[in-house]
Amino acid sequence: MALEDYRNDMMRCVRCSSCKFIPLGSIVKSWQFAYGCPASKQMNFHSYSGSGKLIAALSWLDGRIGVTPELLDVVYRCSLCGLCDVSCRMGTDMEVYEILHQLRKKLVAEGHGPMPAHKPVIESVRNYDNVWVQPRNRRGRWAKGLSVKDLSKGKEKAEVLYFVGCTYSYASDLMHIPRLTAELFTRAGVDFGILGARELCCASPVYMVGQQDLYEEYAKKNIAMFNELGVKKVVTSCAGCYGVFRSKYPLLGEDMDFEVVHAEEYLAELIGSGALVPKNKVDLSVTFHDPCHTGRMAEIRAPSGGGEECHLGCLPVKNVEKVLGFDGSYDAPREILAAIPQMKFSEMERIREYSFCCGSGGGAKSAFPDFALSAASDRVEEAMSTGAEALVTNCPWCEKNFADAVRETGAPIRVVDTIELLAQSL
């Protein structure tokens, strides 16, 4: 599959600008929060929208433009959040996300990408199996003192693999999240284990910047390892890991003998079955941010590779089923929050499949921190507009980026992980 395969879709863009906004069918609820594309919100030239990138891709394919710093800026100043794909596909069969990704892949394959800031991340994965340039043997440090099974040596077995991910494993300010999660699993009697130092990067960050060879290498290694462990479920806390396991690994065509579950989906089930009963009141008003990678980007978008047939005269019909982002994991965090006594919950305007990205994905946080911060500040404002005291989410990247925005803007709101609130109420 290559960028060239999607030429027809590029030609079919009508430049309507729908991809700049949340889907119109869902009815925009205010002037302030109508935009869906963080790149278009920050950068005003049309080129930065999903449509603009399609045009750029076509221009490059046609030899109208060369690879310049401006092209790279257009392509990578984007969190690859997929909102443009959802908004466009509310009315078309076009594969906008796939084109954006293929464009990055081609730039990398031809030696033009990714951005300089991404290279250390890629090298870190290659050399240390994680994105944070940290030694392998410190990966399991977060679990120090907890009594959890170590599945890495093949001696212990469990039904569930708790896959923590690079960021929760190494970021000292976030490590309490996997610890709390593991404690909750233990409390509910879940038969689970971890991989400790043997856990590898999920390779989502390298996939996102277009480094396909490395992505495939790590994805295949992970699939093989999960199969070998014989676990029924791979449960992850990180939105990035969840999104790539659930929606991208299956496209590699390898057998996957396990189910991918977000920790919050698992915990919501445990609450539903009565295995966990939130009892303590948490007197807090909150709102929830749907990360792209637990939401629309966790849905499998089978790429057509350009395969289509003509029907009814000249109607192009694709060889794949179209998805609209509805099949993300949206309910579990809301169910958890609803189960916490006395918690007041209000929705933001841009939610679920048309959630507004925090701005840190797709390598944007490392390459374009100003862009990431501008998107996060926009989202923090939206959270504030609900009157919430806390912005709750379940992705380490979003949490870090929101925390930066709150620090930068001085916004009087806390950034909290769903798990922290659940743990408080138990």
Partner 1 sequence: MPLSKDVYRVFEDIVGEKNISDADVILDAYTFNWLVEFHPGCAPGKYLQNRPLAVILPGSAGEVQAIVRACNRYGVKYKPSSTAYGSHAFSLQEDVLHIDLKRMNRIIDIDAKNGFAVVEPYVPWCQLNAEAMKVGLFGTAHQAGSQASALANVTSGWGMNTMGNHGGHNAKNALGVEWVLPDGEMIRLGPPDAWFTGDGPGPSLRGVMRGHVGALGGNGVYTKCAVKLHHWPGPSTIKTAPGGVFSGYKLAEPLERARVYMVDTPDYETLADLMYALGDAEVCYAIMRVGGPEHAFAILAGAISNQTLVDWHEAGMVEAAANEWNHPLIALLYAESDREFAYQEKVFHQVVEECGASIPVAVQVSPFKDLLEEEFAIFLIGNDTHWAHHGGGFLISAGYMGTTDSVIRHMGYPAEKLKMRYVERKGILADGPDSTYHNSFEHNAYIYKELEFHYDAANAYSVEECRRLVAEERDTNREQKDGFECQDIGLCLGDARMTIQERFAELGPLYGDFHIWQERMKRAFDPNDVADRSTYGIGTAARNLKV
Q: How far is the CB of 260 from partner 1 (least distance, A)?
A: 22
| List of residues contacting ligand SF4 (CB under 6 A) | 13-19, 37-40, 49-51, 53-54, 78-84, 87-88, 92, 94, 96, 100, 357
Question: Which of 36, 396 has the CB closer to ligand SF4?
Answer: 36
Distance (Å, whole) CA 364 – CA 369: 7
Cross-strand bridge partners of residue 235? 162, 261
Coil, strand or helix at 20: helix
Q: How many angstroms separate the Cα of 105 from the Cα of each of 108, 114, 209?
A: 5, 9, 8
| Paired tokens of 121 | 């991340």
Distance separating alpha carbons of residues 264 and 232, to the nearest angstrom? 17
Residue 330 burial class via C-beta count within 10 angstroms: exposed 0-12, middle 13-18, buried 19 and up: buried
Task: Output 49 or 401, the one with its CB closest to partner 1.
Answer: 49
Smallest distance, ligand SF4 to C-beta of residue 339, A: 32
Report the partner that residue 96 touches, choosing among partner 1, ligand SF4, none (CB closer than 5 to 8 A by kind): ligand SF4
Pick between residue 246 and residue 350 the one whose CB is nearest to ligand SF4.
350
Q: Measured from the CB of residue 14, what is the shortest distance to partner 1 in angstroms?
A: 4
Give least dist CB 217 to ligand SF4, A: 25
Tell me how far apart the alpha carbons of residues 36 and 310 are, in angstroms, rounded to a whole number.
32
CB of 393 to partner 1, least distance (A): 21
Q: Which does 80 bind (CB under 5 to 8 A by kind): partner 1, ligand SF4, none?
A: ligand SF4
Q: Which is nearer to ligand SF4, 40 or 181 (CB)?
A: 40
Of 229, 93, 213, nearest to 161 by C-alpha is 229
Pull the structure tokens for residue 412.
Answer: 């009087």
Q: Which residues bind partner 1 (CB under 8 A)?
A: 7-9, 11-18, 20-21, 23-31, 34, 44-47, 51-52, 55-56, 58-59, 62, 64-66, 68, 70-71, 74, 88, 90-93, 310-318, 321-322, 324, 326, 352-353
Q: What is the DSSP letter of 130?
A: S
Out of partner 1, ligand SF4, none, what residue 24 binds, judged by CB under 5 to 8 A for its kind, is partner 1
Identify which of residues 12 and 29 has a Cβ nearer to ligand SF4 in the complex.
12
From 187, 348, 361, 336, select the one nearest 262 (Cα to Cα).
336
Residue nearer to ligand SF4 on the CB measure, 75 or 214? 75
238, 245, 237: which is closest to 263 by C-alpha? Answer: 237
